[in-house]
Structure 1
Amino acid sequence: MHLTSSVLWTMMILLLFSMAEMRKAGRGKGLKGVRHGLAQDRVRGNWRYGRSGPARLFTPNCTESLQSRDVFLDCQEQGLISIPSSNNWSKEPKHLLLARNRIRILRDGAFTGFEGLKSLDLQQNQISVVEEGAFQGLWRLKTLLLQHNKLGTMSEEALITMPNLQYLRLYDNPWNCVCALESLVQTLQVPSNRHLANHARCTEPLRSKGKKLKQVDPEFLCQESDPGPQGDQMEPSEPVKPSGIRTKPDATTSCHSYLFPVPRLDCSRRGLTEVPSGIPDDIVHMDLSHNSIRQLRARDFHEARSLRILNLKDNDLEHMEKASLSGLLHLHELDLSDNNLHFVQYGVLEDLYFLSLLKLGGNPWVCDYSIHYMVYWLHLHPGVRMSGLLCHSPVQHMGERVEKYVDSYYRECPKEKLHSLEEQEETNPELWESLLEAQGGLEENLEPSHLRGPQKYQIIRLS
């Protein structure tokens, strides 16, 4: 009996001791204090609890801007793995830019709260899955950019929720042209959808590789090939082009295109040796800098009728054909700096009526008669701000402004002639008088016919 009572007393003391420790941990407020401590820990750690357990709160460092009365929300290059919440912004965005992040999956309802969007840029992510209800509620969306991702398939259902969609870009994705893609292909081939996914191509299977989704036969997608002994009777793929035929790179696959704030084509640092073909006609800014383009050929930019800014800086440019810039009637800025240009051929700049900025520095300009065209053109276009036009050779003119060289060229020529004539006068006065008489006769012959003296009529028989 005595032993039992001792055990009970020991247990009660331990219980009281543990309760005191809990009060101490809860800052003297019992269970309420413990909860308060956990709440503080959540705030300090920036955690929240949802249906799927603890999830990290993350507010990306996006920027809001107003252009043409529309709010642009720029969340590019933020390392995002999901769509940011719509509650984080002061105004409802009309354009959401999410390019160059790490988003892999677009889940159902991913854009809840963004119902007012007109455009959505998701290019250059790692998107491989688009659930059918991912774009639910985006009935006002007109432009959707999904190029340069990892999409192999996508259902037609994903597009049905966007009835006003006018522009859809899906190129540079590994599309698997099998039966699962049939509904999407059929939708894209509807005549009214002529601006949807024009450049997207099949990557697999082998029989469809390289074909545009717009040109694939939807019925052919669901025809499974026989893997057995008769597999060699499969429908042949497109003939392989001979290796001798060389085609230009395509701008839509070689470069990255952006729509905001202006339609821009980024082809910089792509290892290009020539200007790519297929430049979209709405591109305003094209960046071809830091490539290995040695020559501009005629009609290289004939498709780029809207181009205003062209950057060709830091290539190996040596020659520009006469019609290489033809058609660029709206070009405002041209950067030719850091190339290997010695002069610009006569006529190259004739179509650049509205050019306002011309960068020419870092080129080995040769100050001889071939450089005169550039100075002549600049004199006729005084509104052009030019920089970097300095003589690199010959040695006596190195570092001199080309305009100064050309002025001195014309200034020195008459002096040399006059000096030679003076020497002739001193040595042979009769020669000087005869030269003046000959010059007077020449001037008389150059007079307009109606100012000359009366002459006899001449009869010419016309047979």
Structure 2
Amino acid sequence: MKSWCALASLLLAYFCHGTLSCPPLCKCYHRRAEVVCNEVPLTEYPSEGLSMNTTLMTIQFTNITSISEQQLKATPLLQGLHLYSNHLQSLSAHLLRGVPHLNTLDLTGNKLSVLPADVFLHAPLRNLVLKNNVIEKADAEWLPDNSSITWLDMSGNSLTKIPTALLQKLPHLETLDLANNHLEQISMSSLDPLTKLERLNLRNNKLDTLEVSVLQSSRNLTYLFLSQNNLNKLPQNLFQELTQLRLLSLDENQLSHIPAGLLDPLSSLEEEGLDLTSNPWVCDGKVKYLWRWLQKNKKKVFLPETIICARPQSLVGRSLMSLTESELNLQA
């Protein structure tokens, strides 16, 4: 009898201290220390009723508009915080001070525009996702020096530039995603600190060229996405250091020619790893290098037969691969 009473008292104590409680409109999985909240009526971060042992939180498709440092302190052991598709408009300064173990923060699909300085300090973040918000300016003061971040995703915002000072704080970065912004240029030395960078996504921006030295420190780069820009010329030695590159997308740009030797360093391209489609190629004598490179490296090119001549008029619509030396005046 005494043992039964002791067990009942212990269980009551657990419930009274909130160890097995769960906030309204949320589901709690105590064995794996996970909380999931995906109810539209939720308008405030559910800090009341959370177990202090929670290590993973997912809050999605709610009407929450802000999150404060004080609210996150309810879960001091938190390691992953996923806040997809809410209505977040603001984050408090020093947001992560109460979650010193947080390594993943995903804020995809909110309405964030301006973030306070020091917002991502105080936690050993490795993955930071700010995808599909309305951020116009990235700030170096968001992050600590020598940040541990390896994955930074700022795609789908309204960035016109990426500060060199911010990238200097990311020596461990392996993936940088800046797709679907309004970037017009990448500063000459801005990528130099990213010596561990393996994946760079610049798709769907407004780049018209790249400085010859912009990728000189990116020797570990294996995936480079440059499609859907306004690239109309590329420096001859742009890819000189990219001997590890496996995939390169240059489709949907404004390339009419490429300089001789541009693709020669790319010995590690995988099968169909190079996309040159949907460019206005001019099939004249200046296309000699590309034509001969394609003949030797056809397997490395995605749909090589769809690399189409836009000029001259006599060759419009013809596949570059299908042309003969005489049609291109390449006999010499």
Question: What's the TM-score once normalised by structure 2's chain length?
Answer: 0.58
Amino acid at match of 1:110: L
Say whether 1:265 aligns with 2:181. Answer: no
Partners in 2 of 1:289 and 1:74 — Cα distance? 33
Deviations 1:327-367 (A, max 9, x none): 22222222222222111110111221222322222211111
Say whether 1:370 aligns with 2:282. Answer: no
Amino acid at match of 1:278: S
Percent identity over the alignment is 19
Residue from 190, 194, 208 that aligns with 1:278: 190
Amino acid at match of 1:295: T
Task: Report how far residue 264 of structure 1 moved.
Answer: 3.0
When residues 249 and 115 of structure 1 are mapped into structure 2, their CA distance, relative to the original with a 3 A threshold, is: closer
Deviations 1:352-405 (A, max 9, x none): 122232222221111122212113223333441323311122222221111111
Task: Report how far residue 85 of structure 1 moved.
Answer: 7.8
How is 1:233-312 mapped onto 2 (pairs within 5 angstroms)?
250=163, 263-270=175-182, 272-276=183-187, 277-279=189-191, 280-312=194-226
Amino acid at match of 1:268: N
When residues 367 and 116 of structure 1 are mapped into structure 2, their CA distance, relative to the original with a 3 A threshold, is: same
Deviations 1:40-71 (A, max 9, x none): xxxxxxxxxxxxxxxx95459xxxxxxxxxx9
Partners in 1 of 2:197 and 2:228 — Cα distance? 21
When residues 406 and 86 of structure 1 are mapped into structure 2, their CA distance, relative to the original with a 3 A threshold, is: farther
* 1:236 alignment partner in structure 2: none
When residues 360 and 380 of structure 1 are mapped into structure 2, their CA distance, relative to the original with a 3 A threshold, is: same
Partners in 1 of 2:119 and 2:181 — Cα distance? 31
- Higher helix residue share: 1
Task: Report how far residue 96 of structure 1 moved.
Answer: 6.7
When residues 305 and 126 of structure 1 are mapped into structure 2, their CA distance, relative to the original with a 3 A threshold, is: farther
Residue from 340, 361, 376 that aligns with 2:277: 361
Partners in 1 of 2:330 and 2:235 — Cα distance? 32
Residue from 281, 286, 302 that aligns with 1:386: 302
Deviations 1:258-317 (A, max 9, x none): x99x723214331x3322452334443333233332222211222333333322223222
* 2:3 alignment partner in structure 1: none
* 2:155 alignment partner in structure 1: none
Partners in 2 of 1:412 and 1:281 — Cα distance? 41
When residues 339 and 131 of structure 1 are mapped into structure 2, their CA distance, relative to the original with a 3 A threshold, is: closer
Say whether 1:110 aligns with 2:72. Answer: yes
1:80–1:103 CA contact under 8 A, matched in 2: no
| DSSP-derived class of the 1:376 partner | helix
Say whether 1:402 aligns with 2:320. Answer: yes
How is 1:143-154 mapped onto 2 (pairs within 5 angstroms)?
149-151=114-116
Partners in 2 of 1:154 and 1:275 — Cα distance? 25
Larger CA Rg, structure 1 vs 2: 1
Task: Report how far residue 135 of structure 1 moved.
Answer: 5.2
* 1:336 alignment partner in structure 2: 250
Larger relative CO (CA 8 A, sep 6+): 1 or 2? 2
When residues 370 and 168 of structure 1 are mapped into structure 2, their CA distance, relative to the original with a 3 A threshold, is: closer
Task: Report how far residue 148 of structure 1 moved.
Answer: 6.9
1:105–1:127 CA contact under 8 A, matched in 2: yes
Deviations 1:154-202 (A, max 9, x none): 79xx83xx6xx37698x94697xxxxxxxx99xx6xxxx63379xxxxx
Question: Where does the alignment leave 5 or more consecutive residues of structure 1 unmatched?
Answer: 1-55, 61-70, 176-183, 198-247, 415-463
2:218–2:242 CA contact under 8 A, matched in 1: yes
Partners in 2 of 1:108 and 1:314 — Cα distance? 42
Partners in 1 of 2:35 and 2:278 — Cα distance? 38
How is 1:194-205 mapped onto 2 (pairs within 5 angstroms)?
194-195=146-147
Partners in 2 of 1:103 and 1:298 — Cα distance? 43
How is 1:45-444 mapped onto 2 (pairs within 5 angstroms)?
57-58=24-25, 82-83=44-45, 103-108=65-70, 110=72, 112=74, 115=77, 117=79, 120=81, 126-129=89-92, 136=98, 138=99, 140-142=101-103, 149-151=114-116, 159=122, 165=124, 172=138, 194-195=146-147, 250=163, 263-270=175-182, 272-276=183-187, 277-279=189-191, 280-356=194-270, 357-387=273-303, 388-406=306-324, 409=327
Task: Report how far residue 319 of structure 1 moved.
Answer: 1.0
1:329–1:351 CA contact under 8 A, matched in 2: yes
| DSSP-derived class of the 1:338 partner | coil
When residues 104 and 346 of structure 1 are mapped into structure 2, their CA distance, relative to the original with a 3 A threshold, is: same
1:268–1:287 CA contact under 8 A, matched in 2: no
| DSSP-derived class of the 2:266 partner | coil
When residues 296 and 166 of structure 1 are mapped into structure 2, their CA distance, relative to the original with a 3 A threshold, is: closer
Question: What's the TM-score once normalised by structure 1's chain length?
Answer: 0.44
Partners in 2 of 1:282 and 1:348 — Cα distance? 23
Question: Where does the alignment leave 5 or more consecutive residues of structure 2 unmatched?
Answer: 1-22, 28-32, 129-136, 150-160
1:391–1:399 CA contact under 8 A, matched in 2: yes
